[in-house]
C-alpha cells in the first residue's frame, strides 16, 4: 500500500507539472486534459484516472504552486526573526529567485488570479496567501520603523513594496528576454533604502531627531497616503471605461469578478482594489495601468534615494578632506 501511494503521488505531481507547462503554452482557458497528457507523455486515460475533471486538476495545480511558494517564502522570511531588515532582504531574494520568478510560473499565477473572482476555491486560497504575505511584510516594516525612529506608516511601506514586486513580476511575464532578476532586486532595495536609509543604505542604526528629520513616504507630489493611491487608481480606470474609454463598465466588473457597485467605488476613489484584483484589472485592460498607478511612487522613491546617496557622498568627501587636512597639518 505504501508503494502504491508513493507511485500515486509521483504521478499526480507529474501531471500537475505538465499542467503548469500546458497553461504556459496554451493559456488557462485553452488548456485541455489532452494537452496535459501530451506534456506528461501519458495517455488522456491516465489523466482521467488521477483527476476526474479539468477543474479538479487545475485546483490541485493551484494548491501545489501555492504550497511551494509559501514554503519557499516562509523559509526566507524566517531570517526576519533575527533582524527585520534581513527578513525584507530575504523576501526580495525569494520573490525573484529563478524557481519563483520565471515566465512560466508567473503566467500561472496571473491565470489563477484572473479566475479567482469566479471560483470560490481559488479566491479563498489566493486571499489567504496574500493576507499572510501582507501581514508579515507589515510586521517587518513596523519593527524597522520602531528600531530606526522613522515617522512613516508600516502598512503604506509594505503595500508599496508588495505592489512593486507584483509589477516587476508583470515585467518578467511581458518582456522575459529583457527582464533581469538582479535589476528587479536592485529596484526594490532602492525603494527600501529611500524609506529606511539607516537600515538599507549603510547609515547609523538609529537616527537622532536633532540630526535628521524622519523620511516620510511620499506617494504623490502633494498628497500622502491611501487617498493619493485611490485617486491614481480611479484616474487610471476612468480613462479606460465608458464613456471616455472603450471598455464597458459591466464587462470590466465581470472580468475582475466584482460587482458593478464595487467597480464604481474604485472609479470614485472611495475604495481600492486588492493586489489580486489589481492583477485582474491589468489583464482586463493593459499593462500601462500599473505604471499609471505606481509610476509616481517609484519615481519619487528613486529621486529621494538618489538625493540621499548624493548627500552621503558629499558628507564622505568632506570627511576625507578634513582627514587629509589633519594629516597635512604640522605636528605641534
CATH (one of 1.10.10.10, 1.10.357.10, 1.10.940.10, 3.40.50.300) for 53-323: 1.10.357.10
185 vs 18, 154, 294, CA distance in Å? 29, 20, 17
Express each pLDDT in 124-169 by its tens digit: 888 888 888 889 999 999 999 998 888 888 998 898 898 889 888 8
Q: Enter the C-alpha cell of residue 82.
A: 533575527
Whether the model pTM is above 0.75? no
pLDDT (0 to 100) of residue 221: 36
Express each pLDDT in 223-252 by its tens digit: 345 677 788 889 989 999 988 888 889 988
The answer to whether the beta carbons of residues 305 and 190 sit under 8 Å apart is yes
Express each pLDDT in 240-289 by its tens digit: 998 888 888 998 888 777 888 999 999 998 888 876 677 677 767 876 78
Per the prediction, the chain carries an average pLDDT of 79
Task: Report, in angstroms and rounded to the nearest whole number, the Rg of the chain calculated over CA atoms.
Answer: 24
pLDDT (0 to 100) of residue 287: 66
Express each pLDDT in 105-117 by its tens digit: 888 887 777 777 7
Residue among 138, 283, 297 at smallest CA distance from 273: 283
* Domain boundary assignment for the chain: 1-52, 53-323
Express each pLDDT in 83-103 by its tens digit: 899 999 999 999 999 988 888
The answer to whether the beta carbons of residues 233 and 293 sit under 8 Å apart is yes
Return the biggest CA–CA distance within the chain.
94
Q: Enter the C-alpha cell of residue 177.
A: 528576454
Q: Prior bond to 199 cis, omega within 30?
A: no
Superfamily of domain 1-52: Homeodomain-like (1.10.10.60)
What distance in Å separates the CA atoms of residue 62 and residue 59, rounded to the nearest whole number?
A: 5
Amino acid at each position: 500500500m505504501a508503494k502504491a501511494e508513493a507511485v500515486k503521488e509521483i504521478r499526480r505531481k507529474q501531471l500537475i507539472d505538465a499542467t503548469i507547462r500546458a497553461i504556459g503554452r496554451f493559456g488557462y482557458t485553452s488548456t485541455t486534459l489532452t494537452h496535459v497528457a501530451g506534456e506528461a507523455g501519458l495517455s488522456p486515460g491516465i489523466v482521467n484516472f488521477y483527476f476526474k475533471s479539468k477543474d479538479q486538476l487545475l485546483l490541485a495545480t493551484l494548491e501545489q504552486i501555492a504550497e511551494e511558494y509559501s514554503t519557499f517564502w516562509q523559509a526566507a522570511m524566517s531570517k526576519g526573526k533575527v533582524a527585520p531588515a534581513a527578513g525584507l532582504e530575504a523576501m526580495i531574494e525569494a520573490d525573484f529567485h529563478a524557481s519563483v520568478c520565471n515566465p512560466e510560473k508567473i503566467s500561472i499565477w496571473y491565470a489563477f488570479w484572473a479566475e479567482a473572482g469566479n471560483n470560490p476555491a481559488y479566491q479563498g486560497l489566493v486571499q489567504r496567501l496574500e493576507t499572510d504575505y501582507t501581514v508579515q511584510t507589515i510586521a517587518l516594516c513596523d519593527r524597522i520603523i520602531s528600531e530606526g525612529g522613522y515617522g512613516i506608516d508600516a502598512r503604506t511601506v509594505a503595500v508599496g513594496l508588495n505592489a512593486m514586486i507584483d509589477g516587476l513580476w508583470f515585467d518578467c511575464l511581458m518582456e522575459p528576454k529583457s527582464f533581469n532578476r538582479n535589476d528587479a532586486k536592485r529596484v526594490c532595495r532602492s525603494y527600501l533604502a529611500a524609506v529606511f536609509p539607516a537600515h538599507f543604505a549603510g547609515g547609523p542604526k538609529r537616527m537622532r531627531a536633532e540630526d535628521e528629520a524622519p523620511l516620510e513616504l511620499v506617494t504623490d507630489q502633494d498628497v500622502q497616503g491611501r487617498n493619493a493611491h485611490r485617486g491614481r487608481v480611479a484616474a487610471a480606470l476612468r480613462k479606460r471605461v465608458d464613456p471616455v474609454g472603450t471598455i464597458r463598465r459591466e464587462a470590466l466588473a465581470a472580468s475582475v469578478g466584482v460587482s458593478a457597485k464595487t467597480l464604481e467605488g474604485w472609479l470614485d476613489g472611495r475604495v481600492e482594489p486588492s493586489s489580486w484584483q489589481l492583477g485582474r484589472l491589468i489583464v482586463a485592460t493593459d499593462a500601462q495601468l500599473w505604471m499609471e498607478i505606481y509610476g509616481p511612487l517609484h519615481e519619487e522613491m528613486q529621486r529621494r534615494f538618489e538625493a540621499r546617496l548624493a548627500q552621503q557622498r558629499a558628507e564622505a568627501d568632506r570627511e576625507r578632506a578634513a582627514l587629509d587636512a589633519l594629516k597635512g597639518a604640522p605636528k605641534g
